[in-house]
Amino acid sequence: MKTDIVYCGDCLDVLKKLPDSCVDLVYIDPPFGSNRDQVVRGREKRRFSDRFEDVTAYLKYMKPRLLQLYRVLKPTGSFYYHCDWHASHYVKVMLDGEDLFGYKNFQNEIVWCYKSGGASPGRRFSRKHDIILFYTKSEDYTFNGMKEKSYNRDFKAYRFKGVDEYRDEAGWYTLVGMKDYWEIKMVGRTSRERLDYPTQKPLALLERIISVSSNEGDLVLDAFCGSGTTLAAAQRLGRRWIGIDTSPEACRLASRRLAHFQRADGRCEHGD
Ligand SMILES: C[S@@+](CC[C@H](N)C(=O)[O-])C[C@H]1O[C@@H](n2cnc3c(N)ncnc32)[C@H](O)[C@@H]1O
């Protein structure tokens, strides 16, 4: 099986050609069911459609693709589904099903919080987070837990026995297990990593997921890879990767992005 490759085609067809239980980590960021076309102004060719008749049609579209993703994931593998308020609750119910991951293998609902342009119409709160549903295939999975800073109240040291405390310009803090809400900057207009691909995700987000849920040499799969953020993060972290996208524009962009890392094999191929 080839790795470090971008396949251009519907992931349903491409996934059917992959063997069972070959992937360590799947991250997907498919269309969210937002009922609009996603496009960056001036980059019409990079448009992708996120239009479904209704949420039932969206779930019906995703289900066979999810069954394939489940099949190719190793029994020790992890799965992340990036979505938002449009369908996250329906998607969770689907993933909780016994023909997919099952309720008991749900690990986290990660909330990715960001600042972005555009405000609410003043009649509700601004919608500034996405949801990432994290499942594993069993209880035996990789989790390289991360720590984050937790600032002490009142800007002073607690001096609890056995607890290490540190200080920086923002005050005293301890190191605690990372929480399930992540504040990571989105790829803004002036961001250096911006490739003008609609809904491009930040490398920092993918690097976190890949670092936690895989080890060096593991195989990471993104079946809706767009501009190739997951693939670039995987390569930076010494993982093998496979990317799939229906859009030839996205495949070309992702391949170019990976070639930029000077891998001779960051190439674009059609399905078979
Ligand atoms: C939200 S974008 C992914 C963005 C990506 N995470 C990034 O950082 O650039 C969703 C992608 O899914 C692709 N897509 C939609 N349906 C697909 C399918 N059935 N198989 C493979 N890719 C698909 C679209 O072309 C689009 O590039």
Tokens of 1: 């099986």
Ligand 1, atom 26, residue with closest C-alpha: 226
**Ligand 1 atom with minimal separation from the 201 CA:** 8
| pLDDT at residue number 155 | 78
Ligand 1 mean position, distance from CA 188 (Å): 19
Percent of the chain, pLDDT > 70? 94
Chain centroid to CA 185: 14
Ligand 1, atom 19, residue with closest C-alpha: 10
Ligand 1 mean position, distance from CA 173 (Å): 39
**Ligand 1 atom with minimal separation from the 11 CA:** 20
Chain mean pLDDT for the chain: 91
Ligand 1, residues 6, 186, 224, 270: which to mutate, most atoms within 8 A of Cβ? 224
The tens digit of pLDDT for each residue in 144-197 reads 999 999 998 887 888 889 999 999 999 999 999 999 999 999 998 889 999 888
Give the C-alpha distances (Å, rounded to integers) separating 98 from 70, 89, 105, 137, 217.
12, 17, 10, 11, 30
Tell me the backbone φ, ψ of residue 143, rounded to 5 degrees.
Answer: -145, 95
Asked whether 127 and 113 are in contact (CB, 8 A), the reply is no
Ligand 1, residues 60, 205, 225: which to mutate, most atoms within 8 A of Cβ? 225
The tens digit of pLDDT for each residue in 94-118 reads 999 999 999 999 999 999 999 887 7
Inform me whether the pLDDT recorded for 272 exceeds 60.
no
Binding-site residues, ligand 1, Cβ < 6 A: 10-11, 29-31, 48, 197, 199-201, 223-224, 226-227, 229, 244-247, 250
Give the CB-side neighbour count of residue 213, counting CA atoms within 13 A.
30
Domains of the chain (ranges, CATH numbers): 5-145+179-263 (3.40.50.150)
CA pair distance 222, 241, nearest whole angstrom: 8
CA pair distance 90, 70, nearest whole angstrom: 18
Give the pTM.
0.94
Ligand 1 mean position, distance from CA 177 (Å): 32
| pLDDT at residue number 271 | 42
**pLDDT grade for 221, boundaries at 50, 70 and 90:** very high
Q: What separation, in Å, do the N-terminal and C-terminal C-alpha atoms of the chain show? A: 11
